[in-house]
Structure 1
Amino acid sequence: MKYFSTITALLVALVFAITVPALELNDSHLTNPAWPEHARLHEAWQLLSNALIVVLAAWLVATRKAPLLGLTLAAIISLSFLFAWLTGDAYGGSMLHSDGTQMTVGGVNAAVLIVSLLAVLLAIAISGERRLAVGE
């Protein structure tokens, strides 16, 4: 289980510390001239916070210092994204880019698909780590 947990935590770190920032460091997000400066500050803050939290999470899991805590932190980042997506209508949020496009895989938004998969992997890893913690 420790290898599964470590691989899962590293995948989450890869997505939220490298892939997402790489995709958002452009004119559709972080440097979007149509966004208020305050919104761009929040975007930069969110990208940096999420990246640092998932790197810490991966370290906690990989070093076995606190694997359950690390996986929980990674799950918070993943589930927060999914919650924001699910409740987007309530605050005017959308996965569509300013030009009305989105990246899809089989008609499903790619980010939603990837983060949903990560959430499932994290749930499995957390369940396994909890069983290890109680000696099952």
Structure 2
Amino acid sequence: MTPKLLVTIGICFYAVVVPFFEINQSHVFNPAWEPHARLHEVWQLATNTAIGVFSLWLTWSKDNIRLASLMTVLVTGGFLLAYSQRDYYGGSMVLSDGSEKMIFGVNLGLFAYSLAIALAITAVAIQRRTRLTYSAG
């Protein structure tokens, strides 16, 4: 059960929490954003939520922690790649009001998505160790 809970937490970060934070005036309804950029934002949110729903199904119905964890690493890793390259393309995590969401002095997205990857890796490791223990016993 622990691996399922760990991977579920990571999935919830990108499939539930991020849409909650971004379907508002700072992102989706931001009048300063070009309409094309807003379309891409909604597309990204819808796609990530759909991947999250699929990953939850994999986790809880199929007990496929490995594939659900891989999906988490791909989605959240995509953010980490974009974050690491933000200076190259002019991206920023600073909101239009000049603030930046931080936790423990680290950007919230960077923190949450790094944690999601760590949880996914931990979930796979626990499940693998558990299966190896049961198959050896």
TM superposition score normalised by structure 2: 0.87
How far apart in 1 are the matches of 2:23 and 2:90?
Answer: 22
Choose the corresponding residue for 1:67, options 59, 65, 68: 65
Q: 1:58 deviation in Å?
A: 1.6
Q: Distance in 2 between matches of 1:119 and 1:13?
A: 10
- 1:124 — aligned with what? 122
Contact 2:26 2:95 in 1 (8 A): yes
Q: Shift of residue 132 of structure 1?
A: 5.8
SS in 1 for 2:91: coil
Shift of 1:46: 0.2
Decide whether the 8 Å contact of 2:59 with 2:65 is kept in 1.
yes
Larger RCO, structures 1/2 (Cα 8 Å, 6+ apart): 2
1:53-132 equivalence runs, <5 A: 53-131=51-129
Residue aligning to 2:23: 25
Taking every aligned residue pair, what percent have the same amino acid on both sides?
35
Displacement after TM superposition at 1:60 (Å): 0.3
Q: Which ranges of structure 2 fall in alignment gaps of 5 or more residues?
A: none
The answer to whether the aligner puts 1:42 opposite 2:40 as a matched pair is: yes
Letter in 1 for 2:122: I
Pick from 50, 67, 72 the counterpart of residue 52 of structure 1: 50
Q: Distance in 2 between matches of 1:15 and 1:132?
A: 26
Tell me the secondary structure at the aligned position of residue 33 of structure 1: coil
8 Å contact 1:5–1:71 — kept in the other structure? Answer: no
CA contact (8 A) 2:13 2:116 kept: no
Is contact 2:28-2:42 (8 Å) kept? yes
Q: Distance in 2 between matches of 1:101 and 1:77?
A: 25
- For the 8 Å contact 2:10–2:116, the answer to whether it is kept is yes
Report the RMSD for the aligned CA atoms in angstroms. Answer: 1.8
Matched residue count: 134
